[in-house]
A = this chain, B = another copy of it.
Amino acid sequence: MLYYIPILLALIPQTLALWPIPRTLQTGSTFLVLSSQFNINVNVPNPPQDLLDAVSQTKDFLATDKLQRLVIGRGAADAGALKTAKTLPSLTVTMQSNQPVLPIAAESVKDIGTRSEGYTLSIPNDGRPAVLSANSTLGLFRGLTTFSQFWYDLNGVTYTNVSPVSIVKDVPAYPYRGLMLDTSRNFFPVADIKRTLDAMSWVKINTFHWHIVDSQSFPLFLPEFPELAGKGAYSSSQIYSPADVQSIVSYAAAHGIDVVMEIDSPGHTAIIAESHPEHVACNQASPWSTFANEPPAGQLRLATPGTVNFSAALFTAAARVLPSKLFSTGGDELNTQCYKSDAQTQADLKKSGQTLEQALNSFTQATHGALAKLGKTPVVWEEMVLDHSPKLSNNTVVMVWISSANAAAVAAKNFRFVHAPSDFFYLDCGAGEWIGKSAESNSWCDPFKSWQKAYTFNPLANISAAQKHLVLGGQQLLWTEQSDPNNLDPIVWPRAATSAEIFWTGATRPDGKALDGSEALPRLHEMRYRMVQRGVKAIALQPQWCALRPGLCNVDS
């Protein structure tokens, strides 16, 4: 196989619109214009439709992004160089292996750690075509994403200023790069979720952690349990039908994203009482702060045999509609006072002779057992291993959220885990208190987690070399007590791109230097301006004056 061999390529130039930055990258400093007849040739046997769609989408982006360079004059000074620049005629997309060609959607939902996301890309500037190759259609999808980020527009001319380009085997540092969205506190229509999936795919996020239900609403319609959404959704128009879920899952998979659904349990389940009061302890008990971390109180009666069976059946019903190998049973913020005050739970414990922890173990065996029957791996919040002691299968994935420092304790218990720390990655922090009758301006997890703060996250802090394999990756998270479709884009983007880079690129940039916010800022500006061009309302990180003058708005510059 032939690759373009760079001879005298500079290391990364000052501006570069790539995000996440590839792990290997050589670029030049020559201008190269995209041919007006530019085409993408798919040299893949029996190419699956979603690959052809991705190619088509890439061509659309090349035509419609129209991102002007973020420099004074917006690239006007490039006009002269463009007149004499060489032209790139086409991109050839090809498979490196003789493996059967599967759709992107099939590759995206393979078990974590077994997906092939790497690709190799060369963009010569001598008139030859660019070449993208990979071992899988998913790898090709990642490469197309990278390819689309090289291009600027000046008066209708599409060009790059960093040719030639050589990226040899850009593969992600971590297999799990996620984003969590809570669709229970407030509802998000399918279109908002798909737009979010689009933006996720642009920065190579590969997991949508869908916290679909919680104590406030149950928008998931399950044919086996129609009453849950029927009485627990905010309204009949604020429901995810089976077709909606399939539509989201399919759309995600075709965009390189696995959907990991969560039905949080046994806490965070008050809304189930609307249809099944028999299964819920301390439903809307007052004051809520005694029985839950936020209103309304209500937890599944984990010691009640009927509720255990119901819960297992619920997980079966939900998990079987998703192709993902992962499914989250939640497990955060279990409130023991709720169970102490619940006569039914106390009676059931007495009857079975179990302690609450023993009952939690039985409940977990039932729910995780239901998942195991479907071939699914359970995901749990950190409390299930740090604060409680249910017996968990060795392959259980743990989400570390309370503090980044807790990752070490989870690793010490030899569980694989995902970094989801509130002190770095919670997108909702810093927006003020939402509980009524409080005049506080502070939120529970102040301050706001800026992109700069998130970008300093070190996935391997306090993790020994022997434990590195336990670090699956990480994600930023949006809890939606104070969010709905009206502020979804600006509260998520471009901040959520920071973890995407940390977990794709790893600790070091292709020039061997450590990830560094001041190097990243101009690239993140470019990515956010591109997102805006593509219809995602990502916030401005700085005055445009600063975006056009990299470095001049740094501390003491």
Contacts and interface: CB of A to CB of B under 8 A. Distances in A.
A543 B186 contact: yes
A242 to B, nearest CB: 23
A480 B540 contact: yes
Interface string A488-520: 011100000000000000000000000001100
A461 B464 CA distance: 57
A429 to B, nearest CB: 8
A402 interface: no
B486 A539 contact: yes
A451 B432 contact: yes
A433 B450 contact: yes
A235, A431, A441, A556, most chain B CB atoms within 10 A: A441
A360 to B, nearest CB: 26
Contact of A450 (B440, B451, B489): B440
A449, A518, A542, most chain B CB atoms within 10 A: A542
A184, A439, A548, most chain B CB atoms within 10 A: A439
A56 interface: no
Interface stretch (A38-46, A122-130, A281-289): A281-289
B435 A453 contact: no
A541 B483 CA distance: 8
Given A439-B453, A448-B431, A545 B217 contact: yes
Given A539-B483, A543-B480, A554 B437 contact: yes
B437 A517 contact: yes
A441 B448 contact: yes
A6 interface: no
A557 B541 CA distance: 39
Contact of A555 (B438, B490, B545): B438
Contacts of A490: 486-487, 490-491
Interface in A153-192: 184-187
B545 A296 contact: yes
Given A437-B557, A486-B489, 9 more contacts: A185-B544, A186-B543, A234-B544, A284-B552, A288-B556, A289-B555, A432-B452, A441-B447, A484-B540
29 contacts: A74-B235, A184-B543, A185-B544, A185-B545, A186-B540, A216-B546, A234-B545, A286-B557, A288-B553, A288-B557, A294-B553, A430-B441, A430-B446, A432-B450, A432-B452, A434-B553, A435-B554, A435-B555, A436-B518, A436-B542, A439-B517, A441-B447, A441-B448, A441-B450, A441-B452, A484-B540, A484-B544, A486-B538, A486-B540
Interface of A: 74, 184-187, 215-217, 234-235, 271, 284, 286-289, 294-296, 430-443, 446-453, 455-456, 480-487, 489-491, 517-518, 521, 532, 537-546, 548, 551-557
